[in-house]
Amino acid sequence: MDRIYLDHNATTPVRPEAVEAMIPFMRGTFGNASSTHAEGQAARRALEDAREKMADFVGAEDVSEIIFTSGGTEANNMALQGGLASSRGKRVISSAIEHSSVRTVARWLGESGRGENVVIPCNSHGIIDPADVEDAITPDTALVSIMAANNEVGTLQPVKAIADICKAKGVRFHTDAVQLAGKAPVRVNELGCDMLTLSAHKFGAPKGTGILYLRRGTRLTSLLHGGMQEKNRRGGTENVPGIVAMGVAAELAQKELTGEVEKLRKLRDLFESLVLKAVPKSSVNGDREFRICNTTNICFEHTDSASMLMALDLKGVACSSGSACAAGSPEPSHVLLAMGLPQDKAHASLRFSLGHGLEEWQIRAAVASIAEAAAQVRKSHPLWKEA
């Protein structure tokens, strides 16, 4: 059975070019990039070459603004914890639909007494109102963190408008752009952010690498102490093979962006239209205009996501009920609840996220499996016969 993978927001397959780029740095060129001998300096050159690629990928003005991390979670922790620690203010403002690596950290900062956790609501489409952010900013605000694109419903946030408000009030602004990479341009000056997070495994590179973009002049206290790596901003030996692969994947994503966005949007729209026709009482969650090109979140009334996921997996279709980092939780998606969906509809919703290499025949085959799964699950649902 050929499996159909529709969970690219959770992780992506590693591009073959990225795999090939890694191999030399796991064999002959295996030096520590902090060492002064020839092996170490070869690793250092590769590291700095990848830094240049990532700086170009996000439109940074200087390569020194790129800090390599172990991924998006670490970068988000650096931004929130390090941003708060380097500020006189205590208020940390984020939204109700943030990824758990922002949401949980902000809550922990508030509960531990280190900061004040202020959460901004979203509307029924999953979009943040910049006016709500502006109203929440006080003289005691340390930073604002609002994601660029939501990982569950795909909605694009008015990041530039929020960034302009923060700049006018002298408040640092961080955006989690993990889901933007490879699906839309990532340009820090157009976004207006002081800090930005990316995770390599979301755009065709291995897990365990990422970056925090830190605009020159932005204060940040180190989260990891140890060595002097990353200009003393992040201690720990750099993952040279992973970072090299990330640089290659970023180049590919940037080069292919226009065509990839057009293709994924067409496939996503086809997928949605076919599902809505094939499955009665199905509907799309979130804004259908202001969203990334590859993502749709669909409610299948009178089903439950756990049963649907199991049925689809057995039929060879991989998708999810929300963030992979929240997989296994019995609670419905916090994003859908924040948007005002009732618990039963939130429990009946699935996320489908498309990616590189998908073809139309796979979309059509997946829709057929989804229709079969919904019919199968609804047979045991107590309300389906009444619907």
Catalytic residues: 325
Tell me if 128 sits within 8 A of 95, measured CB to CB: yes
Tokens of 99: 């990824």
Q: Is 331 helix (H, G, I), strand (E, B) or coil?
A: coil
Closest CA to 179 of 339, 337, 313, 286: 286
- The answer to whether the CB of 303 falls within 8 A of the CB of 378 is yes
Indicate the helix (H) or strand (E) that contains 41. Answer: helix 38-58
Dist. CA 268–CA 154, nearest whole Å: 12
Say which amino acid occupies 138.
T
* Distance between CA atoms of residues 332 and 162, nearest Å: 28
- For helices 360-378 and 305-314, what crossing angle results, to 10°? 130
- Spatial neighbors of 154 by CB under 8 A, at least 6 apart, are 179, 286, 291, 292, 294, 295, 296, 297, 353
Give, as one character, the DSSP assignment of residue 195: E
CA distance 86 to 120: 23
Tracing tokens 């619907």 back to the chain, one arrives at: 387
What's the N-to-C CA distance of the chain in angstroms? 34
In 62-148, the DSSP E strands lie at 66-69, 91-95, 116-120, 141-145
Strand partners, 69: 210
Give how far Cα 256 sits from Cα of 206, 263, 356, Å.
19, 11, 10
Cα–Cα nearest to 166, from 148, 147, 192, 196: 192
Tokens 């990928």 belong to residue: 57
CB 4 within 8 A of CB 366: yes
Q: Are 225 and 9 in contact (CB under 8 A)?
A: no
